[in-house]
Every structure is written in C-alpha cells, then in structure tokens.
Amino acid sequence: MEEPWKIKESDERKEDMLKTYIIFCEDSVSEPVYFKYFETKKIKVNLVPNQKSSMHNVLKAVAHCRAQGMIDENEGDDWSLTEDANVWCVFDRDKNSNGADNESGNIEFDEAIAHAKRRGIKVAWSNDSFELWVLLHFEEVQITDENVCHRLSYYDRLTEVFRNIDNPGDKLERARVHETFNYKSSLKSENNFRYVVRPKMIPNTEDAIARAKLLEEQFNNEKLRSHERCPLTLIHHLLEDILTNH
C-alpha cells in the first residue's frame, strides 16, 4: 500500500490550486490569443472575450464576480473583491475615427477605470488601442508626436514593421507580397495574429515592458485624467504580474 505522503494528488486538485487570472478582453481575437500564451503549469489564464470597451467591460466583470461569490459584502453598496480574486479588465480608449475627443466618451473611460479600482478589479487599459502595446514590442513611441494618439498611426507603423521584418516565415511572406498588404486587414485575423504577429512579439516582451514604463513615467502627473494620457498602455502591469508567477 502506498504511504499517505506519496499518494499523487489528482490533476483536478492541482488545477484548483493554481493562481488564476480572469481577464475580460475587449475584443475576441488579439487580446485573448495574446494573453493565453502566458498560461503555464503554474498559472491559469481564463479569458472572457468580446466584452466591449470601458464601462461595458467593467460591468460585465462586476456581474461575473457577484455571480461567482468573489466579493466581500459590506453595508449598502460598499463591497470589493475577495483578497484571492485576480480579475482584470482590458480595454481601449477607442477615440472617434477622426481622432477627435468626445467628452461623454472621455467621462465614460475615466469613470470605468475609477469604478473598477473601487471594486478591486484591476485595469490594463490602452489609449488609444491594444495595437499600441503590440507596437512597443518593436519600437519606442514618442508622446510629442500627436499622430500616435490614434490607432490608425499604430496600424501604419505595424504595417511597415511587418513589411520589412527579418525572417518573416511562410505565412507572412505570402501575405506581404500582395499590394493591399497592411496590418489591420492582413494580420488581425485569429490565425495570422496567432502564428505571425504573436511569435514576433514574444521575444521582445521585456523591451515592450520597458518602453511602456517609459511612457507611463512621462505621464506622471496627477492632474491628468486617464483619457488625457495618450499614447499610453498599462498592459505591462498585467504582464509583469503574470511573469512574476511563471
């Protein structure tokens, strides 16, 4: 008979004990595919895709946490997540297509971040889009360049990056021979993001974190509201947390 201390625990029990990240993603492709890569035998990454932006994303997370009993109830509406809960919302500023700010959109963006923090939900937001985080894997971004406060500039730069990248591989080589090749239409599909974009990002993760930190330092001004901090992405906070537990 096997000694008690040598009995192997079931796989199910081990999974229950893993540190688990619950990440509410704005889109259904890039963000979920990217974050799932970092799941290991030590950590579990549960993705909830297509949760839209700002307040919609946060409220979906709040509803999930309440339904799963992940909150500490206090008097009235004063509650927050339990200490062991590890919930993140990932969403973008999403400016208008012409790059102009909309005040109601600004307020919603800022309030979503504040509401999440009050509830103990962590937020990894980007202003203007997730593609800023992608771009930081390949080059620095200057806050003095007004053009980089809109996603179209990220698409343009990423198009040039992947048009000229070394060792492109078969999939990228086939895609970029077309005259219409561009990042948005050619590389944002689930298949191409998984097998073309993500493999080129991963080796540069530390560079991206360093560049994102540099951007954050340049917006170290408490008078600035969240929507005014552009270009900026706080996804590096989530990545550093995940990598710490690898």
Q: What is the mean pLDDT of residues 209-223?
A: 95
Which carries the bigger pLDDT value, residue 73 or residue 104?
104
Does the pTM exceed 0.95? no
160-196 burial, b at 16+ Cβ within 10 Å, e below that, comes to: ebbeeeeebeeebeebbeeeebbbeebbbeeebbbeb
Burial class (CB in 10 A: 0-12, 13-18, 19+), 107: middle
pLDDT tens-digit readout, 136-187: 999 999 998 888 888 899 999 999 999 999 999 999 999 999 999 999 999 9
- What rounded mean pLDDT belongs to the chain? 87
- Predicted pLDDT of residue 11: 46
Q: How far apart are CA 184 and CA 170, in angstroms?
A: 19
Residue 3 scores a pLDDT above 50 = no
- Predicted pLDDT of residue 52: 84
Q: What is the mean pLDDT of residues 101-120?
A: 89
Q: How far apart are CA 128 and CA 233, in angstroms?
A: 8
Bridge partner list, 44: 20
- Predicted pLDDT of residue 5: 32
pLDDT-above-90 percentage for the chain: 70
pLDDT tens-digit readout, 21-62: 999 999 999 999 999 999 999 999 999 999 988 899 999 998
pLDDT-above-70 percentage for the chain: 87
Q: Extract the tokens encoding 175.
A: 């895609």
Residue closest to 122 by CA, chosen among 27, 41, 241: 241
Structure confidence at residue 77 as a pLDDT band (50, 70, 90): low
Residue 95 scores a pLDDT above 50 = yes
- Predicted pLDDT of residue 73: 65
